[in-house]
Amino acid sequence: MMEIEDAPLPGRVKPRSRMPVQLVKPNPEPIRILVVDDDDAVRNVIGLLLKEEGYRPTLVDNAEAALELARAEEYPLLITDMKMPGKDGAWLRDRLHETRPETAIIMLTAYGDTEDAVESLHKGATDYLLKPPKVTDLVRAIERALSTRRLEQARQRYRTGLERRVRDRTAELQQALGDLETTYSTTLWALVAALDAREHEVSNHSQRVVRFTLAIAGRLGVPERDLHDLGRGALLHDIGKIGITDAILLKPGKLTEEEWVVMRTHPQIGYDILKAIPFLGLPAEVVLTHQERFDGTGYPRGLAGEAVPLGARIFAIADTFDAITSDRPYRKKQTAEAARQEMRRCSRTQFDPKCVEAFLTITNAELEELARPTSEPPL
Residue ranges per structural domain of the chain: 27-164, 199-371
Q: What share of the chain is helix, strand, coil (3-state, %, to 5)?
A: 60, 10, 35
CA angle (106, 111, 115) in 5-degree steps: 65
Q: List Cα–Cα distances, 188 to 82, 94, 236, 354, in angstroms.
A: 72, 61, 8, 30
Instruction: Read off the DSSP letter of residue 190.
Output: H
DSSP-based three-state secondary structure for 99 = helix
Report d(CA 280, CA 312) in Å as an integer: 15
- pLDDT bin (cut points 50, 70, 90) of residue 262 is very high
Q: List Cα–Cα distances, 269 to 234, 239, 266, in angstroms.
A: 16, 8, 5
Burial class (CB in 10 A: 0-12, 13-18, 19+), 202: middle
Which has the higher per-residue pLDDT, 153 or 306? 306
Q: Same topology for domains 27-164 and 199-371, yes or no?
A: no
DSSP per residue, 201-247: PPTTHHHHHHHHHHHHHHHTT--HHHHHHHHHHHHTTTGGGGGS-HH
pLDDT in tens, 274-321: 988 888 899 999 999 999 999 999 999 999 999 999 999 999 999 999
Q: Is the pLDDT of residue 264 over 90?
A: yes
Report d(CA 259, CA 358) in Å as an integer: 35
pLDDT in tens, 173-217: 778 766 766 777 777 777 777 676 666 555 578 889 999 999 999
Q: Given 3.40.50.300, 3.40.50.2020, 3.40.50.720, 3.40.50.2300, which CATH number is that of 27-164? A: 3.40.50.2300
Q: Is the dihedral of CA 362, 321, 184, 268 positive or negative?
A: positive
pLDDT in tens, 239-256: 898 899 888 888 888 899
pTM for this predicted structure: 0.55
Report d(CA 198, CA 92) in Å as an integer: 80
Amino acid 114: pLDDT: 65
User: What number does CATH give the domain 199-371?
Assistant: 1.10.3210.10
